[in-house]
Amino acid sequence: MSIVEAILLTIITASTPLVLAALGELVTERSGVLNLGVEGMMIMGAVCAFAATQMSGSPYIGILAGIASGALFSLLFGFLTLTLVANQVATGLALTILGLGVSGMIGEGFVGMSGIKLQPIAIPLLSDLPYIGSLLFRQDIIFYLSIALVVGVNWFLFKSRAGLRLRSVGDSHASAHALGINVIRTRYLAVMFGGACAGLAGAQLSLVYTPQWVENMSAGRGWIALALVVFASWRPWRLVAGGYLFGAVSISQLHAQAFGIGIPSQVLSALPYLATVVVLILISHNRRTTLINTPASLGKPFVPDR
């Protein structure tokens, strides 16, 4: 069981940033905004979290810095697309390129430094349970936050009036505006939440997954998070299942090499992205389900009547 437990622990660690980033993008897209800059916000969260931790000595301050950097970076996207009505696809791609460049500049002085790892928190009694105790109840605070956020977002979207307003903005911004809902403010808040989640996901990468700073350490996880939202049909609980599935695929390359499986390392490294392509192809065949769940105003600009 020790080998199985070790594998499951690495899968949980690898899956948590995917779940967090995808959850934030899910809320953003539910409001009708398509932000392709998840990768850029993740890498900014990673470098800011690592830098703040090194300067303060506290990984918890690093977590706050990662969240703040992701949220602030998303405000740039919001200003360009919601206020200036720029193209959302082009702006999101530019945000990713900008994030990769700025993070490399900020993190230049931190390359090679040993990081401060975020230590796990053991929940009394529950952490002593056989098999599941160390897996679920002796984890870092970011893992617990990811589960709490999934529960909270699911309740918010489908059980609260504010969540109903957000979904109405995503389904028909013109109708929501006619009913007196402030579409721009709602979308700004959704975009900021998405950025904060992406920043938290980046903080997990540099404080838990690999406690150090390496340029481009997000390694395409932002793009996988975008595919996860479609894979989950914009449903939080399906997103968790997809996130852990993709996490298992991404971590399989390490364990395959450890067990001496004779597969080229390049093929194993490409598995997560190959799985993303395969999943998107399979989803595209069921257009009825996709169209039912896709926010009708996704990616469409909104200019209020003056």
Question: Which residues share a beta bridge with 139?
Answer: 121
Residue 306 falls inside a structural domain: no
**Using the 8-state DSSP alphabet, how is residue 119 labeled?**
P
Residue 64 falls inside a structural domain: yes
| HSE-CB for 152 with a 13 A CA cutoff | 10
pLDDT for residue 256: 66
Count of domains for the chain: 1
Q: How far apart are CA 246 and CA 244, in angstroms?
A: 5
Residue 304 falls inside a structural domain: no
Domain that holds residue 209: 2-293
Of 155, 140, 191, nearest to 16 by C-alpha is 140
Per-residue pLDDT tens digits of the chain, which is 306 residues long: 577 888 888 889 999 999 999 999 999 999 999 999 999 999 999 999 999 999 999 999 999 999 999 999 999 999 999 999 999 999 999 999 999 999 999 999 898 888 889 999 988 888 888 878 888 888 999 999 999 999 999 999 999 999 999 999 999 999 999 999 999 999 999 999 999 999 999 999 999 998 999 998 998 899 999 989 988 889 999 899 888 988 888 777 666 666 666 666 667 667 777 777 777 777 666 666 666 678 999 999 998 875
CATH for 163: 1.10.3470
Residue 303 falls inside a structural domain: no
Residue 70 falls inside a structural domain: yes
Structure tokens at 262: 């004779």
Amino acid at the residue 237: W
Q: Give the burial class of 98: count Cβ atoms within 10 A of its Cβ; 0-12 exposed, 13-18 middle, 19 or more buried.
A: middle
List Cβ neighbours of 209 (8 Å cut-off, separation of 6 or more): 13, 14, 17
Residue 111 falls inside a structural domain: yes
Q: Is the dihedral of CA 36, 37, 39, 45 positive or negative?
A: negative
pLDDT for residue 245: 86
Amino acid at the residue 294: T
Structure tokens at 279: 């999943």
Residue 299 falls inside a structural domain: no
Residue 300 falls inside a structural domain: no
Q: How far apart are CA 132 and CA 41, in angstroms?
A: 33
Q: Dihedral (C-alpha) 13, 230, 30, 45: value to the nearest 10 degrees?
A: 30
